[in-house]
Structure 1
Amino acid sequence: MTSTEKSASDNKPERLYKVAFYLPEETARWACASAERHGAGKTPVKMEVQVRNTPFYVKGVAFGDIVRVRADHERREFVFEEFVSESGHSAVRIIIKGDGVGGEVDTILRAFDCSWEIDATRTLWAIDVPPHADYTSMRTALLHIASEGKIGIEESALARGHRSGLGLPESDR
């Protein structure tokens, strides 16, 4: 139920908890899973944790966000209850549609200091966009590739700072 990783800030082992995020039926069919599980770190508030992964399927949650959980004693896991606060990171998903486009996407993401995970099929990428990234420019570059039919893009959780750069309302995550 837990794993241990080193905390980037102090090199001490950090105990991570697995949190189950149950997926809506349509997403669950596409993902072939009823839930997506992510590592989360403890916070000072009881039953609130900080997400330590970028979701592939969960919408509205990004790396570093704080979420409230509840204990599911039957399944022996924590379950997502509600979103509490954002970290300033955004989560974007890319589906690779064309051969050889992965290198082009990789170059763009590195230029904007993003990190990402790639699923087992090598076609779905979960991208963490850090708060300092110029998301407007990054988005323009990715949309250019998407307009050529090489990738699909979904902005699954946009932080306030990235939304404001696009001229979008603050309230909608």
Structure 2
Amino acid sequence: MDADLHKLVDERDGVFKVVVSLPEDAWHKFSSELLWAEALEDGTMRVLNTPFFAKGLSYGDVISIKVESDGIFFNSVVSSGGHSTYRLILNESIDDAIFKGRWNDLAELGCIYESFLLGVAYMYAIDVPPSVDVIKVYSLLEAGENDEIWDFDEGNCAG
């Protein structure tokens, strides 16, 4: 492992934080997002979590990086891992039981999510594995939006 890369490694099993720069005019006002990734033998990295804000990236994608003194920075996608990414923000008036009822349909298809509190509303980064029918997922996300359960956005569609 490169010496510069080695000092940036997280102590948890060779997992790294990769900085992904975000557009300056983005609605969320974040300038960057940190993604977990593992180093591959050819100098690339594999993304190990679902992005909340970065467009064009998904879990499992192989990426090229730039190692600098202040971090590891995303450069480009080398190859898709086949996963798709959607993001949704729960309507503030929707309680957890209603969300879980709607989420169950997506979970049954094989989707998983990561979440965090963004201001007063929860935001979810949805991972759609390659084996899942992305058209069915999109339809369910659209239905939830039409029913004012959430707003959603496509981060990356691999299919």
TM-score (norm 1): 0.78
Taking the aligned partners of 2:21 and 2:155, their CA distance within structure 1 comes to 15
* Identity rate, percent: 27
Aligned-pair distance for 1:152? 1.0
Runs of 4 or more, structure 1, over 2 Å off, are 1-5, 30-33
- Can you give the 5+ residue segments of structure 1 that lack an aligned partner in the other structure? 6-13, 163-173
Q: Residue 111 of structure 1 aligns with which residue?
A: 108
- Can you give the 5+ residue segments of structure 2 that lack an aligned partner in the other structure? 1-7
Number of aligned pairs?
147
Match of 2:117, SS? coil
Q: Residue 39 of structure 2 aligns with which residue?
A: 42
Q: Residue 126 of structure 1 aligns with which residue?
A: 125
Letter in 1 for 2:67: A
Q: Residue 62 of structure 1 aligns with which residue?
A: 58
- Deviation string 1:25-84 (CA, Å, 9 cap, x unpaired) is 122xx33431101110111212x10000100000000000011100111x1x10011111
Taking the aligned partners of 2:16 and 2:102, their CA distance within structure 1 comes to 31
Letter in 2 for 1:67: I
Taking the aligned partners of 2:47 and 2:63, their CA distance within structure 1 comes to 7
Aligned-pair distance for 1:105? 3.3
- Deviation string 1:114-142 (CA, Å, 9 cap, x unpaired) is 11111123521001100101221222122
Taking the aligned partners of 1:125 and 1:105, their CA distance within structure 2 comes to 13
- Deviation string 1:68-122 (CA, Å, 9 cap, x unpaired) is 100111x1x1001111110011111011114134213321221111111111235
Taking the aligned partners of 2:130 and 2:143, their CA distance within structure 1 comes to 22
Instruction: Give the counterpart of 1:99 among 94, 99, 113.
Output: 94
Taking the aligned partners of 1:111 and 1:4, their CA distance within structure 2 comes to 34
CA contact (8 A) 2:88 2:150 kept: yes
Q: Residue 165 of structure 1 aligns with which residue?
A: none
CA contact (8 A) 1:105 1:142 kept: no
Taking the aligned partners of 1:71 and 1:119, their CA distance within structure 2 comes to 28
Letter in 2 for 1:25: E
TM-score (norm 2): 0.85
Match of 1:109, SS? helix
Taking the aligned partners of 1:108 and 1:4, their CA distance within structure 2 comes to 37
